[in-house]
Amino acid sequence: METIRDMEPPPHIVGIQHFVDYKSVDEILKSKDFRQGSHQESQPFFGGSLLTIDHGEHFDRRRLEAPLFRKEALEYYEREELLPLIAKSLEECERNRGEDGVVRADLCLLVRNMLARISAVTTGIDGVDTPERTDAFRTYVEQLGTGATVEWSTEDHGEVINRILKIRDGFVEEFYGPSVERRRELITAFQAGDISEDELPRDLLTLMYLHWNEDWDDELPLREATLYTVASSQTTTHAVPHMMMHLHEWFEAHPEDYEKRFDREFLKRAGHEAIRLHLPSPALLRIALKDVVLSDGTEIAEGERVACLFTPANRDTSVFGEDAKSFDPYREADGVKPWGFAFGGGEHTCIGRTLVTGLSARTDGDEGTDGTLVNIALALFEAGIELDPTEMPAFTELSYHDAYGTFPVILRNL
């Protein structure tokens, strides 16, 4: 099957100026003359969240949330949360052992379960512990993700928004409400001197309620939590199957590299290539705050919405070489990030990037982190992952996302 596709731009950006080369996309994303232009329709889910605010307000919010991604926080998440959660999710696959003794799983579902738990921990949602509760939480996050990315939906947009708002009420009742209540009680105890700051959870909701800003409306933490749960899970869940498919193809073509499936440095590079080639959305949209002339002379009028098509920009041969459209874990691209614009650029650059790619300090030892991509891929190879020869992976048809919908695998060592 063709694993690196040219994606059609979705209908709602047809007719607006497109930028497809690395240099223009970089210039627009870094420019202060633009503001966020995505998520115009998904305001009920993301409105006022970090992703949709700009400049001064954005700077203050980003600074407030930065402690979640400091080195010690990342080390804590990786060792205390991520690694046990990966192991637990794999153990649960044993329940799917067939009569032939073989454990089969759908990689998309497995990774979605792993990531649901990780995103619950960083956001501050309690009780995502049993398989049933994880399933329920994951389903909510997926639905919220559909609402939050309604711009890319192939269904009627108004109907999607109304349907998902009703579903969100269930999420609030079952997960969000009780989690907020517990955090507010802990913060009250901390402020009364009954517990120390160390005893407070390390997550987004605690941070927001601890540093409450009178300008916020009561539902802002819900929308910020929606952003975090969606942004942290749906991106990585799409990346892992791509990464595993490319590695499968790479090892078929380069059997001498097969032993590198346990080599963290190799896996890290493979992860970077997978996310460079497969972006989490079809485009990053921006709106010009004034008349702008780009360095190549292109004119953009004040108020004009433009689309940065970061998939072609990430395959720009002038930056990534003649074979930019292929997967090569040994690629060297000078002067640019190996993942290109996979995490965006400029002020909205992904705040969670280090959770995914790890802190570059470490490739072994106790210092730093490797990130979710390497840790998940390594655990899958240790579990003996193989494609299921009876059923090939298939891409999703439910949206314009470049993502697998099903990915049947065998976990040979479980």
Q: Is 312 a residue that touches ligand HEM (CB under 6 A)?
A: no
Query: How many CB atoms are located within 10 Å of the residue 159 CB?
Result: 11
Q: In terms of CB distance, is 109 or 189 closer to ligand HEM?
A: 109
103, 132 in Cβ contact below 8 A?
no
Residue in the shown chain whose Cβ atom is closest to ligand HEM = 352
Nearer to ligand HEM, 230 or 410 (CB): 230
Rule CB under 6 A: choose which of 136, 350, 377, 403 binds ligand HEM.
350
Q: Please, which of residues 85-124 interact with ligand HEM by CB under 6 A?
A: 122
218 CB-near residues (< 8 Å, 6+ apart): none
Counting contacts by CB under 6 A, is residue 314 touching ligand HEM? no
- Count Cα neighbours of 320 within 13 Å in the Cβ-side half-sphere: 26
Q: Which of 155, 141, 144, 165 is nearest to 12 (CA)?
A: 155
144 scored as a contact of ligand HEM (CB under 6 A): no
Q: Which is nearer to ligand HEM, 93 or 284 (CB)?
A: 284
Distances (CA, A) of 177 to 157, 166, 222, 234, 269: 27, 15, 9, 22, 40
Window contacting ligand HEM (CB under 6 A); options: 167-175, 207-215, 290-298, 340-348: 340-348
Please return the burial class of 14, using the count of CB atoms within 10 Å of its CB with bins 0-12, 13-18 and 19+: exposed
DSSP, res 8: P
Applying CB under 6 A, the span of 81-89, 224-232, 243-251, 406-414 interacting with ligand HEM comes to: 224-232
- CB 338: neighbour CB atoms within 10 A? 18
Which of 241, 280, 312, 329 is close enough to bind ligand HEM by CB under 6 A?
280
Return d(Cα 71, Cα 362) in angstroms, integer.
11
8 Å CB contact between 164 and 144 = yes
Contact in structure between 251 and 287 (CB atoms under 8 Å): no
Could you tell me how far CA 254 lies from the centroid of its own chain?
29
**Residues touching ligand HEM, count (CB under 6 A):** 25
Q: Is 348 in the site for ligand HEM (CB under 6 A)?
A: yes
Q: Of 38 and 143, which has the nearer Cβ to ligand HEM?
A: 38
CB atoms within 10 A of CB 100: 6
User: Mask of contacts with ligand HEM, 232-271, x by CB under 6 A?
Assistant: x--xx--x--------------------------------
Does 352 engage in binding with ligand HEM (CB under 6 A)?
Answer: yes
Which of 270, 319, 355, 383 contacts ligand HEM by CB under 6 A? 355
The answer to whether residue 146 forms part of the interface with ligand HEM (CB under 6 A) is no
Residue 343 within binding range of ligand HEM, rule CB under 6 A: yes
Q: Which two tokens stand for residue 336?
A: 């640019």
Between 280 and 329, CB nearer to ligand HEM: 280
Q: Which stretch binds ligand HEM (CB under 6 A): 213-221, 344-352, 360-368, 381-389?
A: 344-352
Q: Which stretch binds ligand HEM (CB under 6 A): 84-92, 228-236, 314-322, 391-399?
A: 228-236
Give the type of residue at 409.
V
Q: How far apart are CA 320 and CA 336, in angstroms?
A: 9
Residues of this chain that bind ligand HEM (CB under 6 A): 36, 38, 50-51, 62, 122, 227-228, 231-232, 235-236, 239, 275, 280, 284, 342-344, 348, 350-352, 355-356
